[in-house]
Chains A and B, each alone.
Chain A
């Protein structure tokens, strides 16, 4: 499917819509957004339905779980414009995305930029086929916003590293198959210059996880412990002690993805779905809803504009703006949904389903992947070039 002008894009749209319609099982159609419908893939994943697995397999066979990746790596080789059409048609036909994962959002883009050809051919198709689920081993108890001060240490043992230390807030570590981890491999160097980006099989002896419960009642994140874990030397992305470059590149993708929630575009709950009954007439709430609608629309356009800019050669540190603005907006959206839902929204599982736990979960959006304060700091220092304290 080549990218031509408007005409061929229209033909492409018809073709992809037809394909979706013929291949999407009933299990992945219709219904409002529900977190439990997300397909994460991986060896430990329990599919919600047969249709969910079938849809993932059908899409991955055509590269549609990673539409923009090269076909050699399990993608479909789509252009940006084609990917957009694919997403639009999914939304229009009310069909769920076939697969979501840290591999697609984060590790994949980092491997594409920094991996060897061999690594790309090995790891990327495992991601697109939903075979291997990845988790992210960045944060540590003493290294959150100050990520570059990670202490988990990999001692050089010739053909392998011997890794000891602890990660924290590792989302889905207990469900993931592999972890990408920031490990200090040089204690003498400046803190940014002694970190390596390692890939680790979670079944390697010496790795253990302990789930931590969230305020939303769920338990998707963990402490992850490394106790004399042997990691072969070829499981590194980029050069030894240059892992910070990889880490930062990956973070820009993570941040854009998290920020994207702000536009309300990715199947999220619409304000209308809760406000609709017409019983909310107080001017304060109505004004908030109007403002949110405007900001969401404008932010959605900003995401699009930045993607176009990125195509032209990158937006650099300004991507911190997307993360900051999008997550703050998404938190506002859920505050408003809770206000509109009133007492019906206060239950863990009530008239609006899991709205209350979703609301609580949004509070992490401005923390995970770098806090809003860190984003504002990046904007002040790197984009506005304001002097430091």
Chain B
């Protein structure tokens, strides 16, 4: 396996991504929120032009095919500046699922399509418990049921939907404008695009099945792991961004005639947070390398990353708000945006408890 530090190419990619994301800054998310938009379409178009949407799409399909570690690099930089985009849902999760199933992902790479993953039906991540019905009808299926928490749910042009057919869980690739499908925007704290979906007799053909009928989790597994690793990278970037903002403030704010960063009580907590971030960064780097080298054995690495990243991001934003004092509670200041995104990111695709259970099970402890 390649070393856990970035390659020369990854360093170049990171520097370019950092410059791009920092130029947009948290101001971009703020503007998106205030305008009630799902994300900044112009900014996304630029990302597509830079090959980010095709980071996991083969070159034969117009992708840049840079791999999972590179996707993590991009997500980390987006997390640092809280950039809203369909990158994770579309370029990571959907692209991985389609490619593994031998379907075309060209429309993802060139930005003509964006995907959302319609999976969760209850308040907690539990793919195996999917209840949405896929009833056989002629050569195809009729989908009925609801999805509760779909990232990029209102803006996506296509959906990957997990539903239960007679043969078992099955993954479908359908048009988001299909008849019988309604999408309601959810106003969540992170100001990103989320929706609740209702399927009332939505028709899908046999061709819309990704992988095998009854093999939904097989088709979705690699995509979920990719998504979990990449949201972890985003949360790592978010932690680093919140931490940088906080240490910056510690060096600038004065009380009792001195900068507050000179108080040892705060110094030690900042140093502790630095340590937590470093430990989490290793788990993220490892997950990226495992997905590139041995994706079918990356479960442990990915759950480790998601558990660590969820926890570290929570700590980074809590410390961030607290160390800012009153100003940290204001909407005018950016640290609160980090806190809200951290909460949603920690929940999405399995929270700490879920992934800690997975790690324990994979390490041979009690069943998850």
Contact = CB atoms under 8 A, between A and B. Distances in A.
B325 A144 contact: yes
A347 B187 contact: yes
Interface string A368-389: 1001110011000000000001
A159 to B, nearest CB: 35
A341 B330 CA distance: 25
A279 B314 contact: no
B343 A347 contact: no
Interface in B261-275: 263-266
B273 to A, nearest CB: 15
B187 A363 contact: no
Interface in A50-93: none
A11 interface: no
A53 B148 CA distance: 40
A360 to B, nearest CB: 7
Contact of A213 (B188, B332, B340, B353): B332
Contacts of B264: 389
B178 interface: no
A349 interface: yes
A302 to B, nearest CB: 23
Contact of A146 (B186, B255, B351): B255
Given A284-B356, A348-B188, A348-B189, A342 B326 contact: no
Given A144-B326, A363-B322, A285 B189 contact: no
Nearest to A282: B353
A338 interface: yes
Nearest to A364: B329
A282 B188 contact: no
Contacts of B330: 212-215
Pick the most buried of B257, B339, B351: most chain A CB atoms within 10 A of its CB: B351
A49 interface: no
A346 B191 CA distance: 11
A285 B322 contact: no
Q: How large is the interface on B (under 10, 10 to 19, 20 to 34, 35 or more residues)?
A: 35 or more
A363 B336 CA distance: 10
A229 interface: no
Interface stretch (B80-88, B116-124, B228-236, B280-288): B116-124
Contact of B357 (A215, A282, A346): A282
A346 B343 contact: yes
B356 A282 contact: yes
Interface string B231-263: 000000000000000000000001111001001
Nearest to B126: A279
Contacts of A208: none
Given A346-B347, A363-B339, A169 B326 contact: yes
A344 B189 contact: no
B148 A344 contact: yes
Nearest to B150: A343
B321 interface: yes
Contact of B344 (A217, A284, A346): A346
A81 to B, nearest CB: 37
Contacts of B149: 343, 346
B329 A363 contact: yes
Contact of B347 (A168, A342, A377): A342
B318 interface: yes
Contacts of A126: none
B357 to A, nearest CB: 5
B340 A215 contact: yes
B328 interface: yes
B336 to A, nearest CB: 3
Nearest to A373: B265
Nearest to A145: B255
A342 B343 CA distance: 10
A347 B322 contact: no
B90 to A, nearest CB: 20
A280 interface: yes
Contacts of A363: 318, 321-322, 328-329, 339
A241 interface: no
Given A344-B148, A363-B339, A214 B353 contact: no
Given A139-B326, A144-B326, A342-B123, 6 more contacts: A169-B326, A344-B123, A347-B187, A349-B187, A359-B343, A364-B329
Pairs A-B, 5 closest by C-beta atoms: A215-B336, A342-B123, A282-B353, A343-B149, A213-B331
Interface of B: 120, 122-125, 148-149, 186-190, 194, 254-257, 260, 263-266, 314, 318, 321-322, 325-326, 328-332, 336, 339-340, 343-344, 347-348, 351-354, 356-357
Interface of A: 139, 142, 144-146, 149, 168-169, 212-215, 217, 279-280, 282-285, 331, 335, 338-339, 341-351, 356, 359-360, 363-364, 366-368, 371-373, 376-377, 389
